[in-house]
Structure 1
Amino acid sequence: MKKIKIIILLVLSSTIGFCQSFSRAWVTDSLFCKPESALYDNSRQIIYVSNINGKYLAKDGNGFISRIKTNGEIDSLKWVEGLDNPQGMGLYKNKLYVADINRVVQINTVTAKIENVFVVDSAKFFNDIASDSNGDIYISDCFGNKIYKISDGKIKVWLDDNFLSGSNGLLCTNDDVLLLNMNDKTAYAINKLTKKYNKIFSGIDNLDGIVSDSSSGFFVSGAWQGQIFHIDSYGDKKLIIDLGKEKIITADIEYIANEKLLIIPTLYKTVIGYKLTK
């Protein structure tokens, strides 16, 4: 009986924790240029923001990475410049990895210098990046329907399977790579060792970003309709933020657990912070 009570309490605590609402905490100055992705660097307490700054898939060198503080203040608008179409980002130690059409740009976060570029001539549209505790870097090719992996300083195809369809958002757990498919509106968990996959949930249009809620669930964005959902441990969906009426896009999001802060790049001129209500 005691074991059953403990399990019930754990489930309830997970569920109750995200039945609360979010409120808008801040909006940055309107200085960004198509901000697409946000990523928190806990070691520096700073948020990286990728800026497309041009037409999609244009190799124009206009893209850049910004840094903002957790209160929405811009720390450095053009911290690193010279990218083409920067999208999703991944972080491992002092290395920031940025998806940039058919290449992954590796930036040293100490020196703010580009120190390596992984080019894949056959890649069509690198969209998101996720890193794991081993330092392996996973990259989704949204148009090529493949997942690549950087390991031991080399980039190779990690997964090429028919179930990949508009592969977008990625998130690493201990055992799996979580993937959002835009075309079939479905999320999957792919085992890192066996590459077997299971469906987590389905039915959300324009799946873009996925982040952990720091418990047993996730936040995901439905980009073009401006929606943020919470997904619980059973795969059940709950709409928690809807910016569609304001015509605000919710792109590749980030969640900072210790701040209870959800970061939303808008693909326009601002980044928005939402605070979890206590």
Structure 2
Amino acid sequence: MKKIILILFTTLIPAITFSQNITKAWVSDSLFLKPESALYDSSKKILYISNINGEYLAKDGNGFISKLKTNGEIEVLKWVDGLDNPQGMGLYKKKLYVADIDRVVQINTETAKIEKVYHVDNAKFLNDITIDTNGDIYVSDCFGNKIYKIANGKINVWAESGFLSKPNGLLCTKEDLLILNMESKTAFAINKLTKKSHQIFSGIDNLDGIVSYGKNGYIVSGAWQGQLFTIDLNGNKNLLIDLGKENIITADIEYIENDDLLIVPTLNKTVIAYRLLH
């Protein structure tokens, strides 16, 4: 491991250290085709990986979902295909929901069949999905600067406030919806009942994925520069790892708490797992 390096910024990011608490666990076979998002299904002990497999925002039907074991072995490369530009995913009661440009696709995880499609005529780029414990589904429209909500089988605009600035990664907590803004480099929490909001942190480029890190806070990815950060409950940032020098993109991440595994789709041909050491 590298020695701790201290870097000072004049921007909103405070002093950052390269953490020694992360080590590479495995790298998958190079069979994925623009893997964008990872989601863990604890009931099946399997990861779902969305593959764009084509040009961004192209309605080409080339996109697909893979199943990946937690040891890095690909179980099924094309488990569900026929999608266009699959991005973020959410899981609720054996139903997998996938953001796919201007629609949300509902997949039965038992049968691998598409059961329902929620079309959003005005959506520009549906990006990430998070689902509450009661089954409410939140979807970010990155280019449309909106958050949609699916409840009772219907999809409607839930938020379009001025602080939305290319919203990407989403995460539901007990009370709030956490939103990562790519353009303004900020993260906000919106109360799901009152819709009152407050800023959590700022100053990270290309914000993409956000996952819970238990009592330690959150882990977020700065996609295009290949960075992963921990964010504590006070909004303080710490750089876990910087993969930019290796030209590795850190897209929509997943964290498997029981295994301390951080799953990183690279938007290239592989998925990488890192083990976090406590």
Q: Secondary structure at the match of 2:82?
A: strand
- Distance of 2:122 and 2:233 partners within structure 1: 37
How far apart, in 2, do the equivalents of 1:216 and 1:149 lie? 28
**Identity over aligned pairs, percent:** 72
- Give 1:101's aligned residue: 101
Structure 2 counterparts to residues 174-253 of structure 1, below 5 A: 174-253=174-253
User: Residues 52-91 of structure 1 correspond to what in structure 2 (within 5 A)?
Assistant: 52-91=52-91
Deviation at 1:277, TM superposition (A): 2.4
Cα displacement string for residues 133-180 of structure 1 (whole angstroms, at most 9, x for unaligned residues)? 000000000000000000011101011111111000000001000000
User: What's the CA shift for 1:20?
Assistant: 5.7
Mapped to 2, the partners of 1:216 and 1:31 lie a distance apart of 34
Where 2:121 maps in the other structure, the secondary structure is: coil
State the TM-score, normalized to the length of structure 1: 0.92
Letter of the 1:108 counterpart: N
**1:149–1:156 contact (8 Å) kept in structure 2:** yes
| Aligned positions, number | 260
Deviation for aligned residue 1:110: 0.5
What amino acid is aligned across from residue 201 of structure 2 in structure 1?
F
1:20–1:276 Cα contact (<8 Å) kept: no
Residue segments in structure 1 that go unaligned for 5+ positions in a row: 1-18
Kindly provide the amino acid, as one letter, of the partner of residue 94 in structure 1.
K
Q: In the alignment, what sits opposite 1:263?
A: 263
Aligned-pair CA distance for 1:93:
1.2
Paired residue type of 1:70: T
The whole-number CA distance in structure 2 between the counterparts of 1:259 and 1:67 is 18
Q: Which residue of 1 aligns with 2:4?
A: none
Offset from partner CA, 1:22-56 (integer Å, 9 cap, x none): 10010000000000000000000000000000000
Moved more, 208-217 or 171-180: 208-217
Match of 1:43 in 2: 43
- What residue in structure 2 maps to residue 14 of structure 1? none
Q: Which amino acid aligns with 1:129?
A: I
Q: Distance in 2 between matches of 1:276 and 1:253?
A: 14
How far 1:215 sits from its partner (Å)? 1.5
Distance 2:20 2:30 in 1: 29
Could you say what secondary structure the match of 1:184 adopts?
coil
RMSD: 0.8
User: Which whole-Å deviations, capped at 9, do the CAs of 1:83-119 have from their partners, x for residues lacking one?
Assistant: 0000000111110000000000000001000000000
Matches within 5 A, 1:24-35: 24-35=24-35
SS in 1 for 2:258: helix
Letter in 1 for 2:23: S
Determine if contact 1:224/1:249 at 8 Å carries over to the other structure: yes
Q: Note the alpha carbon deviations across 1:56-79, whole angstroms, 9 max, x for none.
A: 000000000001010000010000
* Structure 2 letter corresponding to 1:263: I
Distance 2:241 2:20 in 1: 11
Q: Structure 1 or 2: larger helix share?
A: 1
Work out the CA distance in 2 between the residues paired with 1:20 and 1:193: 40
| Ranges of 4+ aligned residues in structure 1 off by more than 6 Å | none
Residue 16 of structure 1 corresponds to which residue in structure 2?
A: none
Contact 1:253–1:263 (CA under 8 A) maintained in structure 2: yes
How far apart are the structure 2 equivalents of 1:228 and 1:193?
31
Q: Provide the rounded CA distance (Å) in 2 between the counterparts of 1:266 and 1:114.
A: 26
Q: CA deviation at 1:216?
A: 4.1
Matched, 1:110 2:87: no
**Structure 2: distance between partners of 1:262 and 1:207:** 17
Match for 1:135: what amino acid? G
**SS at structure 1 position matched to 2:57:** coil
CA distance in 1, matches of 2:248, 2:271: 10
Partner secondary structure for residue 215 of structure 1: helix
Cα distance in 1 for residues equivalent to 2:155 and 2:216: 31
- Tell me if the contact between 1:179 and 1:187 (Cα under 8 Å) persists in the aligned partners: yes
Q: Is the 8 A contact 1:167 1:182 kept in 2?
A: yes
